[in-house]
């Protein structure tokens, strides 16, 4: 993929605006926990010549593209092949005790969506892979081939919030008993055949199933549940974190963890809040911010985004 074909980063200007105060000092460290093809990272390195950027990604193809794209910044860039719940180990390995900015741009990347052979898109026929990290073992094909009907129904319900989960799981098991299901088009055909016409008119019936399979293959929600607290613990006082989430399951996890640390821990009825009960963080935005109509028109991938951001105001543990 040519570097000039790389897509525009989502909410780039808002991310820069929110993180800028934390990145002003010489020696500031920004961690891009979802480096992807380096769009956000490149912009920050250009605009803040004083910072060091630590880029994390589980996708070796993405790391190779970013390594080329960011090569001109030399030793200001440290790239680590890891899932983002490995942020603490990555920083320890680099000898970095605390950081000043953290960015999460969650979900599937442009690279993964646009390369049909990765199998993420229900609109393109490809092997049922869906691995963000090609070195991992579990694929969507393995899930479809080996999970029980009950297990398939559960992941479609839990990770896809799919109302027809039971029907789809049953039809998949029936189909695989006749022949293996190895390609995305085969799975889409099964789902479409099992979907009432009225439901099909409301949107592509495979969307939620493919989302559920992707989350299961990459353990995205459990990884995120571990990653956010570890990221918060790594922030220096005055450090800021910005998270971009694209579906409600991710956003709920981020919201819960942020609300926990921006709240006082003082017992109910205590007349005066003691210093040790004061919040560790403060909110930088009210609730979750959405992309503007102009941004959505310019960059359709920003349409579902929910942005949350907080700042560490004092030392302490949750």
The annotation places the binding site at: 38-40, 57, 84, 105, 112
SS3 56: strand
Query: What is the rounded distance in angstroms from the CA atom of residue 312 to the CA atom of residue 316?
Result: 10
Q: In terms of residues, how long is the chain?
A: 318
Give the sign of the dihedral formed by CA 148, CA 154, CA 159, CA 164: positive
Residues 6+ apart with CB under 8 A from 56: 31, 32, 33, 34, 35, 79, 80, 82, 83, 84, 86, 87, 90
Binding-site residues for S-adenosyl-L-methionine, in ranges, read 38-40, 57, 84, 105, 112
Query: What is the rounded distance in angstroms from the CA atom of residue 69 to the CA atom of residue 46?
Result: 12
C-alpha separations of 183 from 130, 175, 212 in Å: 11, 13, 16
Closest to 130 measured CA to CA, from 249, 218, 35, 245: 218
C-alpha separations of 221 from 13, 153, 159 in Å: 27, 17, 9
For the chain, the C-alpha Rg in angstroms (whole number) is 21
């Amino acid at each position: 993929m040519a570097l000039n074909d790389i897509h525009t980063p989502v909410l780039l200007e808002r991310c820069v605006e929110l993180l800028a105060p934390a990145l002003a000092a010489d020696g500031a460290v920004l961690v891009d926990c979802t480096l992807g093809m380096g769009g956000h990272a490149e912009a920050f390195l250009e605009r803040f010549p004083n910072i060091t950027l630590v880029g994390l990604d589980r996708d070796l193809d993405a790391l190779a593209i970013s390594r080329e794209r960011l090569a001109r910044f030399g030793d200001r860039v440290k790239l680590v092949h890891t899932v983002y719940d490995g942020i603490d180990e990555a920083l320890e390995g680099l000898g970095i005790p605390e950081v000043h900015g953290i960015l999460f741009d969650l979900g599937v990347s442009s690279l993964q969506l646009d390369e049909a052979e990765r199998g993420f898109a229900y609109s393109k026929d490809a092997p049922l892979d869906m691995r963000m990290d090609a070195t991992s073992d579990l694929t969507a094909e393995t899930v479809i081939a080996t999970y029980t009907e009950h297990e398939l129904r559960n992941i479609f319900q839990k990770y896809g919030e799919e109302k027809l989960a039971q029907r789809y799981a049953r039809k998949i098991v029936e189909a695989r008993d006749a022949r293996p299901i190895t390609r995305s088009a085969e799975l889409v055909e099964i789902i479409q055949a099992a979907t009432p016409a009225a439901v099909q008119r409301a949107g592509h019936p495979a969307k939620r199933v493919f989302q559920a399979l992707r989350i299961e293959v990459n353990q995205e929600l459990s990884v995120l549940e571990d990653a956010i607290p570890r990221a918060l613990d790594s922030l220096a006082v005055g450090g800021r974190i910005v998270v971009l989430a694209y579906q409600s399951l991710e956003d709920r996890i981020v919201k819960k963890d942020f609300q926990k640390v921006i709240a006082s821990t003082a017992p109910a009825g205590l007349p005066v809040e003691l210093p040790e009960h004061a919040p560790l963080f403060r909110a930088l935005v009210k609730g979750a911010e959405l992309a503007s109509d102009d941004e959505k028109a310019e960059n359709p991938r920003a349409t579902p985004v929910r942005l949350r951001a907080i700042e560490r105001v004092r030392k302490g543990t949750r």
